[in-house]
Amino acid sequence: MAPTIKQIAKLANVSIATVSRALSGDEKVTSETKRLVLNAARELNYRPNILARNFVKGKSNIVGLILPDISDEFFSEIIRGVDETSYDHGYYTMVISSHKNRSLVESVHTLMSNGLVGGFIILIPFMDQKIEAALMHERVPFVIISGDNNAGEFDTVTTNNYQSAFMMVEFLVGKGYKKIAHISGPADNNDALLRKKGFLDACSKNKIEIRNNWLLDGDFTMEGGELAINKILNEDDKPEVIFAANDMMALGCYNAIQSRGLKIPDDIAITGFDDILISKYANPSLTTVKVNTDRIGKLAAERLIEKMDGTNNKTAQKIEIESELVIRNSC
Amino acid sequence: MAPTIKQIAKLANVSIATVSRALSGDEKVTSETKRLVLNAARELNYRPNILARNFVKGKSNIVGLILPDISDEFFSEIIRGVDETSYDHGYYTMVISSHKNRSLVESVHTLMSNGLVGGFIILIPFMDQKIEAALMHERVPFVIISGDNNAGEFDTVTTNNYQSAFMMVEFLVGKGYKKIAHISGPADNNDALLRKKGFLDACSKNKIEIRNNWLLDGDFTMEGGELAINKILNEDDKPEVIFAANDMMALGCYNAIQSRGLKIPDDIAITGFDDILISKYANPSLTTVKVNTDRIGKLAAERLIEKMDGTNNKTAQKIEIESELVIRNSC
DNA sequence: ATCACCGATGTAAACGTTTACACGATAACT
DNA sequence: AGTTATCGTGTAAACGTTTACATCGGTGAT
């Protein structure tokens, strides 16, 4: 049904090889012949069969994008970033979500040398042995998006969690804060761990006392933030500012604080991490760290396509996405 | 490099045809032969080449998902819903985002009979002539996700904007409210239009007076909501409740109201639409309408796969996703 | 014992495209 | 003029899989 190069060949009175060459811009074909072929192609409304092309070339211009089984406000931005870059390079984007019926490892196996994708990008919340093993045997190029860049000798795009947390603490110190508490995220989340580490190191460097009971455990949820802060809000000696490892927990702190009639930032200041949609609109607006999510997708895709094109096969690169402090009114 | 059925054939001492049949579960092949083939396949760690399979079968088990060029909190849920269903049926999901370099129409053309996808789902914020024309000529099956189901004779999955808005008004009336204002969304957004229509019709039916200056224009942003409500907050004769066409605008109203020292819902009540993440945590928590976003993706994918399988080619279906009133403390 | 049939397997063509190689014609050398 | 490059085009093979058709052995009916 769909027109093929054979039909173009017949219409233009040339061989299919010439058609193929004319369409792919081979310099050897006469401009006259090229004109003929292109006209015929336009007339027939020809679209090359991508499947056939990839198949015969033995490689695919499809970029796989493997997502973990959690939902996240930022995923659509990453997807968009990847697809935009893919498109600009003439590639397609295939999303493989993990979910109850398909684990992250299984997702990798799905793509393993079935020829569908020519490479893939994988979002890994926490690198474990299973995933690493699966990736070790992978034959197509891939890039990892992760909070952590210590993940073996793989190409990785990371957010600079550590540096950003560090930066946040130094900013607070610069504003004169000395008594700083931290609410961390889940223990099995690399982003959370690195943010905590950044906090701790920055405190050490700036001679800020780290009190154990001001090192609170959270879980990245609003309730978790509320729960955590309530543990120290009753004490006489309160911290001046609380640095929550993500905005959701920071907003949980807002609730706890405001329901006690305390004022942010006068009685106690709050900062977060992520710059989710609402943070700008919270009252007071939340000081936080903004990660350039679409750049993550873009750069991961660019690096992957370099590898797929064979343009740049140098050893694994670690790309860190710069993030920025968003200073608002909560401190 | 990657193992093929030829290698399996050699290892199992059968022909490639038998291998193909054994792998695809043809009943004609002996269980003994099947055992041999499967063993060989496992030994070689064989994965069928999807590209070759789709190519030779002349159809694709890839579902295209065309997204508009706006970012949305709900997209990742829709993507997940689609991919989950695709996976369960042995299909793959390919995302085609529209953006500055590729319009929605161009996205459709991209997929047009290039063999890559066997069908697609397209999210359309507002159906216009161009898109409709592009879709008319499309050869592969597709399903539209839209706020509006009047979009010609196409298969469509819609949220029931109209009914939900209607339901919201009747709920408010049931609570005794008589003076109701509405802030609508952008004029070129179908969801917004239908919500307004639902509001108007429900008011008429319930003999609620519709005042023109209580029919406010918004733009789905927080600032828009704030701006709109400020127009009527100074008047002596204020509405008892404001029904915003989405949560963002409702939260804008929160700001305006609370900065005047008024209390929600005692002085004025607010309701929204969408049930975005924050609405649950707003203070007071926001009464709104929750759309089952993942069901939208799921049902669209199910319908599409029916068509792709040829299981069900009956005339275009209009599927409406039921949504639910989420009653909280803002009214 | 012959025939017809059936069930299991093999043979080979087909899908649309790319590309190595062959070929003929023309141009550029000796 | 004869040889050799060069250039444009054609021929045909290849990619991995599916599937229509052929083949062959065996079974049951006559």
Residue B165: its pLDDT value, please? 97
Alpha-carbon distance of A207 to B257, in angstroms, equals 44
Domains of chain A and CATH, by start: 5-48 (1.10.260.40), 59-160+294-322 (3.40.50.2300), 161-291 (3.40.50.2300)
What is the CA B310 to C1' C7 distance in angstroms?
30
Instruction: Please name the residues between 162 and 221 in chain B that touch chain A, using a CB distance below 8 Å.
Output: none
**C-alpha gyration radius of chain B:** 26
Q: Does the beta-carbon distance from A51 to B71 stay under 8 Å?
A: no
Q: Does the beta-carbon distance from A92 to B139 stay under 8 Å?
A: no
Residue B28: its pLDDT value, please? 85
pLDDT in tens, chain A (331 residues): 689 999 999 999 999 999 999 999 888 899 999 999 999 999 999 999 999 999 999 999 999 999 998 877 888 899 999 999 999 999 999 999 998 889 999 999 988 878 999 999 999 887 888 899 999 888 899 999 987 766 668 999 999 999 999 999 999 999 999 999 999 999 988 899 999 999 999 999 999 999 999 999 999 999 999 999 999 998 889 999 999 999 999 999 999 999 999 999 999 999 999 999 889 888 899 999 999 998 999 999 999 999 998 776 678 899 999 999 999 999 9
User: Would you give the distance in Å from CA A215 to the centre of its chain?
Assistant: 28
Q: Exposed/middle/buried for A190, CB within 10 Å: 0-12, 13-18, 19+?
A: buried
Nearest to B125 by CA among B103, B141, B100: B103
Nearest-Cα residue of chain B relative to residue A82:
B97
Q: Exposed/middle/buried for A124, CB within 10 Å: 0-12, 13-18, 19+?
A: buried
Q: How far is CA B87 from CA A75, A103, A244, in A?
A: 19, 12, 37
Question: Chain A contact for B255, CB < 8 A?
Answer: yes
**C-alpha gyration radius of chain A:** 26
- Do the Cβ atoms of A202 and A161 come closer than 8 Å? no
Nearest to B199 by CA among B273, B127, B262: B273
Q: What residues of chain B score a pLDDT lower than 70?
A: 1, 149-152, 312-313
Residue B151: its pLDDT value, please? 60
Cβ-nearest to A51 among B79, B115, B283: B115
The DSSP code sequence of A99-139 is BTTB-HHHHHHHHTTSSS-SEEEEEESS--HHHHHHHHT--
- Do the Cβ atoms of B98 and B66 come closer than 8 Å? yes
Q: Does the beta-carbon distance from B115 to A71 stay under 8 Å?
A: no
- Do the Cβ atoms of A136 and A296 come closer than 8 Å? no
- Strands A288-291 and A323-326 turn out to be antiparallel
User: Would you give the distance in Å from CA B239 to the centre of its chain?
Assistant: 33
User: Tokens 């039909």 belong to which residue?
Assistant: A7
Chain D bases near protein CB atoms (7 A cut-off): 7-12, 14-20
Q: Does the beta-carbon distance from B50 to A1 stay under 8 Å?
A: no
SS3 state at A324: strand
Residues in chain B within 8 Å Cβ distance of A47: 112-114
Alpha-carbon distance of B281 to A274, in angstroms, equals 18
Cis geometry, peptide bond prior to residue A68 (ω within 30 degrees of 0): no
Residue nearest C12, CA–C1′ metric: B17
Residue B149: its pLDDT value, please? 65
Sequence letter at residue B43: E
Axis-axis angle for helices B16-23, B31-44 (nearest 10): 90
Residue B88: its pLDDT value, please? 95
Alpha-carbon distance of A189 to B89, in angstroms, equals 32
User: Tokens 């004769």 belong to which residue?
Assistant: B237
- Strands A288-291 and B156-159 turn out to be unpaired
